């Protein structure tokens, strides 16, 4: 087993997801199949190879730090599921 049901539960918490027991079983078996397939990467010799995380030759994209118009407050809030006093409203964070 590459990944256990307990690990699936832990990773779900990291990803802020929750699953029923049945879903956890199914994900565990499917993720196992996928991770076993990934093992073929170990056959590739990558000694001394720099990881490639972006396919362009660009490194940094700098610009002048000019003040420009940005999204107005009311438009930023327009999609909020809950709002109060111009702020996003959420359930309580601390007891």
Partner 1 sequence: MKLHQFTIHELQKKLRGDDTTSAEIVESVIERIDAVEDRIHSYITLLKDSAREEARKADGDIRSGKARPLTGIPIAVKDLICTRGVRTTCGSKILHNFIPPYDATVIEKLRDAGAVIIGKTNMDEFAMGSSTETSHFGATRNPWDLDRIPGGSSGGSATAVAADECIASLGSDTGGSIRQPAALCDVVGMKPTYGRVSRYGLVAFASSLDQIGPFTKDVEDCAIMLNVISGYDPRESTSVPIDVPDFTSFLSGDIRGWTVGIPKEYFIEGIDPEVEAAVRKAIAVVEGLGARCVDVSLPHTEYCLAVYYIVAPAEASSNLARYDGVKYGYRSKEGRDLMEMYKKTRSEGFGTEVKRRIMLGTYALSSGYYDAYYKKASQVRALIKRDFDEAFRSCDAVLTPTSPTPAFRLGEKMDDPLQMYLSDIFTISTNLAGIPGVSVPCGYTAAGLPIGVQFLAAPFEEGKLIRIASAYEKHSGIEKRRPNL
Which stretches of the chain bind partner 1, using CB under 8 A?
3, 7-8, 11-12, 14-19, 27, 30-31, 33-35, 37-38, 40-42, 44, 46, 49-56, 58, 61, 63, 71, 75-76, 78-82, 88, 90-93
Nearer residue to partner 1 within complex by CB, 16 or 67: 16
CA R_g for the chain: 23
Alpha helices in 16-94 (DSSP H): 21-38, 73-77
Taking the C-alpha atoms of residue 39 and residue 55, their distance in angstroms, rounded to an integer, is 24
In whole angstroms, how close is the CB of 94 to partner 1 at the nearest point? 9
In whole angstroms, how close is the CB of 54 to partner 1 at the nearest point? 5
Nearer residue to partner 1 within complex by CB, 51 or 85: 51
In whole angstroms, how close is the CB of 70 to partner 1 at the nearest point? 10
Alpha helices in the chain (DSSP H): 5-14, 21-38, 73-77
Q: How far is CA 86 from the centre of its chain?
A: 28
């Amino acid at each position: 087993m590459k990944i256990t049901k307990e690990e699936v539960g832990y990773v779900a918490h990291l990803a802020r997801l929750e699953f029923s027991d049945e879903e956890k079983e199914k994900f565990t078996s499917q993720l196992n199949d996928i991770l076993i397939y990934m093992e073929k990467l170990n056959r590739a010799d990558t000694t001394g190879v720099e990881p490639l995380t972006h396919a362009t030759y660009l490194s940094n994209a700098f610009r002048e730090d000019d003040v420009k118009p940005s999204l107005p407050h009311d438009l930023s809030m327009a999609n909020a599921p809950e709002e109060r006093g111009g702020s996003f409203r959420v359930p309580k964070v601390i007891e």
